[in-house]
């Protein structure tokens, strides 16, 4: 393998029912930084069905080229079909870097592709830079339970592949006047090679959709709530703000709320415009999942709680007094 044969930064664009998921757009923004550092192109890879709108979106968000692979068999994500496409594309175009969102599907696809290509993969990254000496990507991820950050280089093989947590990077402002070369590749995967069949989508029992990664406002509750019924005030505040409900692991482990709501190192990484932490101390593992939020509001009765170290607005007080006042005031503003 001669690494000089490999160039350009690819971003795998995950779609859900034809819509581009945010993580791909976030990765295009950071992908641009990596591509520019090595004078390379930023290329979006879109696989699915009826992808014209998706191709326009990724162009607006900064792709120099878009490689589109369409087929009935790619309507929904499936491991065999998508792996086949990615591997065939890599063999033909030889990218230097592939960025994939660390979503459920991305965490399935990335390792499969890297194994087929006998190259390395850094999973669940929270930082991406170019190593100035070698030009390799410096992939940063938490290690040893989040107690230290490891920076990993994949120098001996190509492409360099990584899955990257959602919400770590911000999307750029879209520019719908941009144009990009759209390359359509005809790659089919015979149905007998696709071992899984999607027969339907079922929402988790008793749960409305929890889409923390794409939420613009999140209201999270922690152990300070004291008991499960008290999540009602968090849910009410979330409702008036049209926000999504998050939680610390302590609240999840206590069985007060489903793990789908957990924010943090072992939960979701989020990057909303506003994150409101109620009764959450701000342990490092929680901060790992929310500290890139644009505005952080913390409500905690302990003025020394570490959450105040990252908060833009801190309210030292009893959440059971503060949250009802907030709800009332927001209702007044909205009325
Ligand atoms: P606590 O730390 O107990 O804090 C409760 C806070 O509520 C306190 O600051 C207290 O002052 C305040 N409070 C109490 N009553 C009130 C009141 N009436 N009004 C206002 N404030 C009040 N944690 C996560 O959140 N997400 C993760 O993904 C995660 N992953 C982990 C992975 C590993 C490997 C490990 C070891 C730990 C992980 N943790 C994670 C756990 C983490 O270390 C903390 O234990 C957890 O975040 C604490 O949750 P908490 O802030 O709700 O509870």
The full DSSP string for 155-173 is -SSSSEEEEE-TTSSPPPP
Tell me if 289 is assigned to a ligand binding site: no
Cα distances (angstroms) measured from residue 89 to each of 12, 40, 82, 309: 12, 17, 11, 46
Q: What is the pLDDT of residue 57?
A: 97
Nearest to 320 by CA among 206, 204, 229: 229
Q: What is the pLDDT of residue 94?
A: 98
Cα distances (angstroms) measured from residue 155 to each of 47, 86, 97: 28, 21, 11
CB of 178 closer than 6 A to ligand 1? no
Burial (0-12, 13-18, 19+ Cβ within 10 Å), 332: exposed
Q: What is the pLDDT of residue 203?
A: 72
Q: What is the pLDDT of residue 4?
A: 86
For the chain, percent of residues with pLDDT exceeding 70: 98
Mean pLDDT, all residues of the chain: 94
| Cα 221 to ligand 1 centroid, rounded to whole Å | 9
For 233-270, how does the pLDDT look when each residue is reduced to its tens digit (9 = 90+)?
A: 999 999 999 999 999 999 999 999 999 999 998 898 89
Tell me if 307 is assigned to a ligand binding site: no
Residue 93 scores a pLDDT above 80: yes
| Cα 294 to ligand 1 centroid, rounded to whole Å | 21
Confidence of residue 292 (pLDDT cuts 50, 70, 90): confident
Q: What is the pLDDT of residue 174?
A: 97
| Cα 39 to ligand 1 centroid, rounded to whole Å | 44
Is the model more confident about 266 or about 9?
A: 9
Residue nearest to atom 34 of ligand 1 (CA): 145
Cα distances (angstroms) measured from residue 289 to each of 142, 145, 212, 275, 292: 11, 13, 11, 11, 8
The rounded distance, in Å, linking the Cα atoms of 247 and 120 is 34
What backbone torsions phi and psi does residue 165 show, to the nearest 5 degrees?
Answer: -65, 145
Q: Where are the alpha helices (DSSP H) in 117-267?
A: 231-241, 249-253
For 104-161, how does the pLDDT look when each residue is reduced to its tens digit (9 = 90+)?
A: 999 999 999 999 999 999 999 999 999 999 999 999 998 876 678 899 999 999 999 9
Strand partners, 150: 141
Q: What is the pLDDT of residue 202?
A: 80
Atom of ligand 1 nearest to the CA of 267: 28
List the end-to-end C-alpha distance of the chain, in Å, as a whole number: 65
| Cα 279 to ligand 1 centroid, rounded to whole Å | 8
The answer to which of 50-54, 72-76, 86-90, 166-170 has the lowest mean pLDDT is: 166-170
What backbone torsions phi and psi does residue 130 show, to the nearest 5 degrees?
Answer: -105, 130
Confidence of residue 84 (pLDDT cuts 50, 70, 90): very high
Q: What is the pLDDT of residue 151?
A: 96
Between helix 52-60 and helix 22-37 the angle, nearest 10°, is 50
| Cα 245 to ligand 1 centroid, rounded to whole Å | 16
Is the model more confident about 221 or about 143?
A: 221
Q: What is the pLDDT of residue 9?
A: 98
Q: What is the pLDDT of residue 32?
A: 98
Q: Which residues contact 319 (CB under 8 A, 6 or more apart)?
A: 224, 225, 233, 278, 279, 299, 300, 301
Helix, strand, or coil here: 197? coil
Q: What is the pLDDT of residue 168?
A: 87
Residue 173 scores a pLDDT above 70: yes
Residue nearest to atom 39 of ligand 1 (CA): 285
The rounded distance, in Å, linking the Cα atoms of 219 and 208 is 16
Q: What is the pLDDT of residue 208?
A: 58
Q: What is the pLDDT of residue 55?
A: 97
Q: What is the pLDDT of residue 115?
A: 97
Element of type H or E holding 321: helix 319-334
Tell me if 266 is assigned to a ligand binding site: yes
CB of 305 closer than 6 A to ligand 1? yes
What backbone torsions phi and psi does residue 86 show, to the nearest 5 degrees?
Answer: -60, -45
Tell me if 280 is assigned to a ligand binding site: yes
Length of the chain: 335
Tell me if 162 is assigned to a ligand binding site: no
Q: What is the pLDDT of residue 144?
A: 78
For 181-212, how does the pLDDT look when each residue is reduced to its tens digit (9 = 90+)?
A: 999 999 999 999 999 988 888 876 555 568 89
Task: Classify the complex by whether its ipTM is higher than 0.90, answering yes or no.
Answer: yes
């Amino acid at each position: 393998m001669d690494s000089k044969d490999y160039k350009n930064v690819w971003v795998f664009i995950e779609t859900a029912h034809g819509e581009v998921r945010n993580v791909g757009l976030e990765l295009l923004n950071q992908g641009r930084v990596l591509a520019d550092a090595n004078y390379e192109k930023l290329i979006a890879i879109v696989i699915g069905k009826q992808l014209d709108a998706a191709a326009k979106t990724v162009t607006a968000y900064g792709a120099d080229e878009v490689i589109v692979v369409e087929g009935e068999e790619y309507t929904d994500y499936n491991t065999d079909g998508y792996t086949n496409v990615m591997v065939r594309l890599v063999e033909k175009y030889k990218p230097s870097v592939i960025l994939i969102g660390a979503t459920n599907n991305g965490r399935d696809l990335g390792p499969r592709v890297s194994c087929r290509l006998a190259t390395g993969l850094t999973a669940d990254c929270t930082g991406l830079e170019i190593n100035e000496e070698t030009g390799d990507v410096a992939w940063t991820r938490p290690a040893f339970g989040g107690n230290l950050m490891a920076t990993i280089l994949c120098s001996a093989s190509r492409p360099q592949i990584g899955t990257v947590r959602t919400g770590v990077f911000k999307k750029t402002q879209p520019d719908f006047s941009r144009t990009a070369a759209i390359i359509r590749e005809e790659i089919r995967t015979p149905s007998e090679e696709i071992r899984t069949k999607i027969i339907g989508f079922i929402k988790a029992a008793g749960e409305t959709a929890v889409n923390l990664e794409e939420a613009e406002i999140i209201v999270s509750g922690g152990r300070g709530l004291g008991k499960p019924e008290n999540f009602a005030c968090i849910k009410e505040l979330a409702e008036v703000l049209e926000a999504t409900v998050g939680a610390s692991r302590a609240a999840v482990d206590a069985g007060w709320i489903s793990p789908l709501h957990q924010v943090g190192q072992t939960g979701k990484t989020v990057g909303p415009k506003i994150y409101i932490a109620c009764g959450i101390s701000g342990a490092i593992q929680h901060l790992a999942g929310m500290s890139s939020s644009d505005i952080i509001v913390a409500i905690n009765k302990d003025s020394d709680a570490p959450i105040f170290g990252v908060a833009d607005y801190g309210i030292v007080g009893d959440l059971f007094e503060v949250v009802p006042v907030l709800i009332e005031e927001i209702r007044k503003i909205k009325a």
